[in-house]
Amino acid sequence: MSQLISKAQLKQANRILYMTHLAIGDFVYQGAFLKEFKEQNPHVELDIWIDDSRTKPKAWHADRNTTLCQWLNDESYINQVYPIVKTNSERNHFIKKAHNKNYDLIFFIATTRSESYAKIARKISCTATITGIKSAPLKSPLKSWWHFRALDSFYFENSKQLQNHNHITNLYQARFKKLIGLEVAENKRALKILPEKKYLLSAQYILSELKNKYDLVDTKTIFINHLSTTIKRDYQWIQVKELLIKLSSINNKLSFIINSPPSLLENIEKQINDDEQLNKLPIKTFSAMAHFFELPAMIKCCDYVISVETAIMHLASSVGTPQIALIRESARHWRPLGKSTVLFGKGRVDMISPNQITDAFEELTQKEVFNEPSI
């Protein structure tokens, strides 16, 4: 499989723009490939475009944009980040800004709205060598053909190709190899996150307050994340309540951190405080309010994680916290690596029962040695 951007082109390039629609979990893996690329090509100035080319922004866009930009701006191998935008006017502003950078090469990985990436990439530069992934067009095949004809090259990725990869890291390896010839060792395909000391100390302080409030000795804290951006990946609150009660009955020394988006934090706190069973348990709600790294720091300081199919499970792997991940069978290729027990729900995450989770937790806590699952 020959690469679409040659080694000679990479060697001669000074400025490269990588474009993709990005979520936090995606970057745990894509970031590892970009980091390796920069190490192999230290002469290159690497920028990243993370706007997802939607015509109407989602409710969670603002939080995701803030979080991603905080994280990506902290990564030394990335020179500049073009954010997720709210309006076409804002998008055009960043297109103009990127145009002024005079990129030598532009490549993109986009599995939805790929024609929009092709269009924007060529708007950014009429002289750069541009390549990317072409997915099945959402609306107009003719429009998709028109935008991709302006590129120097592309390759079409169909659903069968996606099914051929056992894990998302294998799929990213295939994509980056096809586009730029990049090969990354299997054990280097996920970022290891090391939060700064100030974030770890803040998390430890929150946990010590929880411990002191309930006079806990030798407590083990479970970080629970039951929400995602779609209902079929959420765990219902009534199930969360049952799970908390069952876990507490197994071990009365357990304490709990309930993670929440900032916008839902007050509502979840009220649900706990108003519930006669839950308000007696050592539970603390949490949200990363000031900076992204508050989140992986808290995950690292907890003893275990129970998370639905969202970025939290990938962050848990990145910081090395043992976890139980709840994911749909159809998302098997997105399962977390590392110290992970994975439970699968048919069609929806909430098809997994609290009893299944408590059984898995008992088994997890009895293990003295964790074996990293193979991809």
What class is the 7-188 domain?
Answer: alpha beta
Mean pLDDT of 93-102: 98
Q: What is the DSSP string of 38-76?
A: HHH-TT-EEEEE-----SS--TTHHHHHHHHHHHHTT-T
pLDDT in tens, 6-26: 999 999 999 999 999 999 999
For the chain, the average pLDDT equals 93
Mean pLDDT of 234-258: 97
Helix, coil or strand: residue 124: helix
Helix, coil or strand: residue 151: coil
Residues of the chain with CATH 3.40.50.2000: 7-188, 197-366
Strand order in the sheet with 323-328: 283-286, 254-259, 220-225, 304-308, 323-328, 340-345
Mean pLDDT of 118-138: 90
Name the CA radius of gyration of the chain, rounded: 22
pLDDT in tens, 154-168: 988 876 666 678 899
Residue 370 has pLDDT above 50, yes or no: no
Residue 374 pLDDT grade (very low, low, confident, very high; cuts 50, 70, 90): very low
What class is the 197-366 domain?
Answer: alpha beta
- Provide, rounded to the nearest whole percent, the portion of the chain with pLDDT above 90: 82
Residue 369 pLDDT grade (very low, low, confident, very high; cuts 50, 70, 90): very low
Stated pTM of the model: 0.92
